Amino acid sequence: MSAKNERFRARNLAVHRPERKVEFPKDTDGRHLRISEYYGKNIFDFRTAKEIPESVKKELISIANTNKPLTKEMADVVAKAALEWALSRGATHYCHWFQPLTGNTAEKHDSFLDIKNGEAIENLSASQLMQGEPDASSFPNGGSRSTFEARGYTSWDLTSPMFLVSGTNGKTLCIPTAFISYTGQALDIKTPLLRSEVALSNAACRFLKAIGQETTHVQSNCGSEQEYFLVDKAFFYARPDLVMTGRTLFGSLSAKNQQLDDHYFGDISERVMSFMQELDFELHKLGVPSKTRHNEVAPGQYEIAPIFDRTNVAADLNQILMSTLSRVAHKHEFEVLLHEKPFAGINGSGKHLNWSLSTVEGDNLLNPGEKPEENYRFLTVCSAVNEAVFRHGGMIRAAIASAGNDHRLGANEAPPSIISTYLGDTLEKIFSAIKEGKTFTSDDECTMDLMATQLANLSKDNTDRNRTSPFAFTGNKFELRACGSEMAIGLPLSILNGAVAEVLNETADKIEKLMSSGKSSEAAMKEVTKEWVTHSYDVIFNGDGYSDEWIVEAEKRGLPNLKTTADALPLFMDKKSTNFLFEQKIYTQDELETRFHVLVERYNVIREIEFRTLIEMVNQHVIPAVLHYKKELGSVIRMQKDLSIESSVEKSIYKKINYATETLFTRVENLNNSINELAEDDEKRSHTIAETLMPLSEEIAELCNEIEEMVPDQLWTLPKYYDMLFLR
Ligand code: ADP
Ligand code: MG
């Protein structure tokens, strides 16, 4: 029996890899530099740049916070300083870096070279900084009406720092930009996110002004916890499904793979540790404030979490984090799997989006304060967020819909596809008392004084928070846990911001009205809080989100349960569901339609690639392994016949594997035919895929697993789950 197949070569490579040694910077005395001494070394932020005069900084910060138009004079000062900074660090090129609707990032490079009076110089002009012109026709636009005008332009986002990316042979200055068509249509993820920040800030400022706490700007903040898997590069390239789709399309999970529980927070292996150390080093230089790293639940699964930042910056930093993860992994002969479900049967990966609201002074509106009057504000904002999720849970679900995330949501390991809120025991008690009209009366046990101490308990609630909830309050922030690990976070964040902005605007209206009729701000806040709590009480669910009872209960409460991407995406086309977004000028109808088309098409394309890859792997790996084994069995049976020995065991194995293979072959033919018969219309196509082809492909996967378990280990040519999850 030959053991010289690709799989065994990969195993041999994986177990013998040495750890990669990295030289960390030292000072002249040989002392290792502290993180703070190299943090942000590779970013250029006008706020901290020494080359930019204080007066210009002040003006730019006010432009960034208020969305005033940027003048060319201002941009020129920044362009000059950024150019000098980049040149002194050896950069030769710059690029406008943006997030098209593919969910990845895109960049178009130009060199700093310019020819002036026949002489070569380096230059970065104000307009080159402010605007670029990539060809929009090559990016997904969902067949939007403006395709006849395919040109688009990128526009500098001064709220997000520029950064320097080093390759083996040079450095490029990356300028974060928004990507817009000439008709002003947002072709990217960032533009609507920035608009949602404006809407949210305006609404929150109105609310704060109404209660006498005026401020100039309110921002949303996000800290995203990123989960990922690492597999050895040799295994990755020996599995066509990992290369083509980012996940294994089948693979048998043997008993030994399931001893998983000791992995969470467990010892980090030497090789993975040296990867994490270099990763943090690279991230810190890029101004990504990576803070926490640990093993996750599944073997081979890890998490990295940065310190939170303003949402728009956090969305950019998460993209930088994801690309740095794969870049550094390659140096360690690893491949990073960012897919939501790389391995069936063991935990998938998500991205928890920790989200809060704070004033420009840093005052967190979701922080329960020590003083009662702060608690009125806190409860009002919490109840407004609850109301927002109650109203727009469907859209939040639609914004995190993807082929990959369908494997997690509702699969008893991640939050269900029903969006509910979890408030923790204390806050739920308070909300329930408010709803019953008990809280705000002085003779009730739930008085405001008592509440101050109760609120102090909120942090304790944190320790046993409900992991099954898709949207949980965790002390001084909410946590959207249903986002997929591979997704750009800007889309769901723009929807969440928009939903909360709508309710905060109404909150401000109501409070203004109540106060103009003579009520105190406290009394007005109490009244509005009660209204929101009562109205949106049904979205609160503190129980087990994985249970079947919850699905029944949620339906009774009228909460949408959009099981698959095919079910969820049509909400983008539903005017009733999206009205709040275009009323607040976060998305136009056209832009929402565009997103629908792009996302449905993307879903279909991903699934079709998966199906075709699956068919190919069956034909090129599974069936050949079976034939090999059958040949060996056959020769044993024949030999025993010559010796007049019965071959009952061999024959029954032969029949069993033969039967499984025949069934497999029929299913594969079926799948093949069904793909060819798919409807032209994307939406119809997506439903057939989700409802018919996916279950069929899962049956095929199960048969492959059955066969994998029957075929001798030596004959199996694809890396097995055991190899990929345990050998490193
Ligand atoms: P967990 O216990 O949920 O795994 P982590 O420490 O891994 O917690 O991650 C928590 C994340 O929440 C971090 O990114 C952190 O910076 C972020 N975070 C903390 N406070 C806030 C806040 N007020 N607003 C937004 N994000 C926050
Ligand atoms: Mg964490």
Expressed in angstroms and rounded, the spacing between residue 223 Cα and the centre of ligand 1 is: 5
Contacts of 54 (CB under 8 A, 6+ apart): none
Q: Is 221 in the pocket of ligand 1 (CB under 6 A)?
A: yes
Task: Please give the distance, rounded to the nearest whole angstrom, from the Cα atom of residue 305 to the centre of ligand 2.
Answer: 6
Q: Are 548 and 398 in contact (CB under 8 A)?
A: no
Pocket test of ligand 1: the residue of 308, 312, 349, 358 to mutate, having most ligand atoms within 8 Å of its CB, is 308
Closest residue by Cα to atom 17, ligand 1, is 223
Mapped onto helix, strand or coil, the DSSP state of residue 353 is strand
Residue 474 Cα, ligand 1 centroid: separation in angstroms?
Answer: 9
Please list the helix, strand and coil fractions of the chain in percent, rounded to the nearest 5, in that order.
Answer: 55, 15, 30
CA of 130 to the centre of ligand 2 (A): 37
Our mutation pick for probing the ligand 1 site, out of 355, 477, 493, counting the most ligand atoms within 8 A of Cβ, is 477
Tell the residue nearest (CA) to atom 1 of ligand 1: 225
306 within ligand 1 shell (Cβ under 6 A): yes
> Is the CB of residue 223 less than 8 Å from the CB of residue 354?
yes
Q: According to CATH, what is the number of the domain 196-602?
A: 3.30.590.10
Give per-residue pLDDT as tens, 272-298: 999 999 999 999 999 999 999 988 878
Nearest ligand atom owner, CA of 480: 1
Burial of 465-478, coded b for 16+ CB within 10 Å and e otherwise, reads ebebbbbbbbbbbb
Task: Tell me the C-alpha distance between 598 and 155, whole Å.
Answer: 22
Measure the CA–CA gap between 95 and 108, rounded to whole angstroms: 5
Does 225 contact ligand 1 (Cβ within 6 A)? yes
Nearest atom within ligand 1 for CA of residue 303: 7
Running DSSP on this structure, what letter comes out for residue 620? I
Q: How far is ligand 1, taken at its centre, from the CA of residue 307, in Å?
A: 7
Count of CA atoms in the C-beta half-sphere (13 A) of 51: 15
Ligand 1 atom closest to Cα of 358? 23
The single residue listed with the structure tokens 């002009």 is: 125
Question: Does 376 sit in the ligand 1 pocket, CB within 6 Å?
Answer: no
List all residues 6 or more positions away from 509 whose beta carbon is below 8 Å from its beta carbon: none
Atom of ligand 1 nearest to the CA of 305: 14
Picking from 472, 382, 356, 489, the residue whose alpha carbon sits closest to that of residue 420 is 472
Low-confidence ranges of the chain (pLDDT < 70): 1-3, 67, 135-151, 255-267, 370-374, 412, 439-465
Identify the pLDDT of residue 52.
93
Extract the tokens encoding 644.
Answer: 């007049």
CATH topology assigned to domain 39-188:
Ubiquitin-like (UB roll) (3.10.20)
pTM: predicted TM-score of the whole model, two decimal places: 0.93
Cα dihedral 316, 321, 324, 330, rounded to 10, equals -140
Nearest C-alpha neighbor of 104 from the set 486, 593, 439: 486
Nearest CA to ligand 1 atom 5: 305
Q: Report the phi/psi class of residue 184: left, alpha or beta, with left for phi > 0 and alpha for psi in -120 to 50.
A: left
N-terminal to C-terminal alpha carbon distance within the chain: 26
As given in the structure block, the two tokens for residue 479 are 């946590």
Tell me if 42 CB under 6 Å of ligand 1. Answer: no
The answer for residues whose C-beta is within 8 angstroms of residue 436's C-beta and 6 or more apart is none
Q: What is the pLDDT of residues 708-725, one digit of tens each?
A: 999 999 999 999 999 999
Residues with Cβ within 8 Å of 155's Cβ and at least 6 positions away in sequence, in order, are 130, 131, 177, 178, 179, 180
**Can you tell me the distance from the alpha carbon of 279 to that of 321, in angstroms, rounded to the nearest whole number?**
9
The pLDDT of residue 146 is: 47
Q: Is 223's C-beta closer than 6 angstroms to any atom of ligand 1? A: yes
- Ligand 1 within 6 A of CB of 307: yes
The finding on whether 308 has its CB within 6 A of some atom of ligand 1 is yes
CATH 3.30.590.10 placement within the chain: 196-602
Sign of torsion over alpha carbons 63, 68, 73, 75: positive
Provide the pLDDT for residue 416: 82
Report whether 20 contacts 275 (CB < 8 A).
yes
* pLDDT (0 to 100) of residue 456: 55
Note the ligand closest to the C-alpha atom of 296: 2
Choose one of 349, 354, 358, 422 to mutate for the ligand 1 pocket test, by most ligand atoms within 8 angstroms of C-beta.
354
Helix ranges, 67-189 (H): 72-88, 126-130
Measure the CA–CA gap between 726 and 262, rounded to whole angstroms.
13
Cα gap 529→525, rounded to integer Å: 6
Q: Fill in the amino acid letter for 194.
A: L
Q: Which amino acid is at 457?
A: N
Instruction: Please give the structure tokens belonging to residue 284.
Output: 């810190």
Q: Which atom of ligand 1 is nearest to the CA of 307?
A: 16
**Rounded to an integer, what distance in angstroms lies between the CA atom of residue 173 and that of residue 85?**
10
Ligand 1 binding pocket includes 476 (Cβ within 6 Å): yes
Tokens representing 573 are 């086309």
Instruction: List Cβ neighbours of 669 (8 Å cut-off, separation of 6 or more).
Output: none
* Ligand 1 centre distance from Cα of residue 354 (Å): 6
Q: Is the CB of 351 under 6 A from ligand 1?
A: no
Instruction: Give the 3-state DSSP-derived string for 26-78, with helices as H, strands as E and coil as C.
Output: ECCCCCECCHHHHCCCCEECCCCCCCCCHHHHHHHHHHHHHCCCCCHHHHHHH
* C-alpha to C-alpha distance for 376 and 397, rounded to whole angstroms: 30
- Could you tell me where in the chain the CATH 3.10.20.70 domains are found? 39-188
Cβ(160) – ligand 1 distance below 6 Å: no
The distance of Cα 362 from the centroid of its chain, to the nearest Å, equals 25
Give me the amino acid identity at 375.
N
DSSP state, residue 414: S
What's the rounded Cα separation, in Å, for the pair 279 and 524? 50
Pairing of strands 162-167, 152-156: unpaired
Polymer length in residues for the chain: 728
CA of 225 to the centre of ligand 2 (A): 6
